[in-house]
A and B are shown apart, each in its own frame.
With several copies, the nearest count.
Chain A
Amino acid sequence: MELKFKRKNKTLIIQISGEIDHHTAAELRRQTESALEQMGGRNIIFGFQEVTFMDSSGIGVMIGRYKQIQSLGGRIAIACPNEKIEEIIRLSGLSRLLPSFPTLNEAIAYAEGRESDAV
């Protein structure tokens, strides 16, 4: 798993590539927390374009970040997950807390609270 971090307005964008499982989830959590500290940001977008695999360990990390961010009044969104990963998110009943979007721009619009712009 590899991570790239970018800050855009109040949103931290995390582009993930590779596989998210229990082994790599610890790293995803650690690096996301340290990026939030160093780069700041009120919202998080997880970019899934290049994620080739995710199991429920990924759900755990995202719920964890949701709890952190929500207490600051921020939002979390997922961009470009593949079908199987979207199914796992849906199964967990998280689609409302952690909505998925087919493009990064739509995810950013949601995170920044300007849904209508993107539609």
Chain B
Amino acid sequence: MQFDNEARVFFSAKSENESFARLFAAGFLTQLDPTISELTDVKTAVSEAVTNAIIHGYENKTGIVELFCGYVGKHIYIEVADKGKGIENVEQAREPLYTSKPEMERSGMGFTIMETFMENVRIESIVGEGTRIFMEKTLAKE
């Protein structure tokens, strides 16, 4: 895929980096002059996926999270990936309110929020190898 502009970051799977990941996505995409609402949608979806990589993928152990942002015109592409434990049942994971970690006070709303705030959310996951989330969004043209 040929992007107009792209950035791919690899960072430590630490919860301090969740806000950094949002800043990264927002900072890169401001070039497209998005609305505040669009920017919040992307930040929220990125936050969900990055948090999942840290707490579910790596279960708070060390690891590296990958975050990609790219765009063609007003169409943006986001990927979030980890090389953690993977998802056994992707259908179940996508269900609203389903969480494998209720003891950590997770709400099970992560994927639902990604699907609501972004378009075409795709999950690729192999147990024992890791997970990659693909998301897209078309920004309003002014």
Contacts and interface: CB of A to CB of B under 8 A. Distances in A.
Interface of A: 19, 21-23, 25-26, 29, 53, 55-57, 59-61, 63-64, 83-84, 87-88, 91-93
Contact of A53 (B40, B51, B55, B106): B40
Nearest to B40: A84
Contacts of A83: 37
A57 B18 CA distance: 12
Q: Which 9 A-B pairs have the closest CB atoms?
A: A23-B15, A56-B109, A59-B107, A60-B105, A60-B107, A55-B47, A64-B105, A22-B51, A56-B107
B83 interface: no
Given A84-B37, A88-B113, A91-B116, A21 B107 contact: no
Contacts of B43: 53
B55 A22 contact: yes
12 contacts: A22-B55, A26-B15, A53-B43, A55-B44, A55-B110, A55-B113, A56-B106, A56-B107, A60-B106, A61-B105, A84-B40, A88-B44
- Residue of B48, B109, B110, B112 contacting most chain A CB atoms (<10 Å): B109
Contacts, number: 71
Interface string B89-112: 000000011000000111111101
Contacts of A87: 116
A84 B113 contact: no
The majority secondary structure among interface residues of chain B is helix
A3 B115 CA distance: 31
Contacts of A19: 19
A51 to B, nearest CB: 12
Nearest to A88: B113
Contacts of A25: 105
A78 to B, nearest CB: 15
B44 A23 contact: no
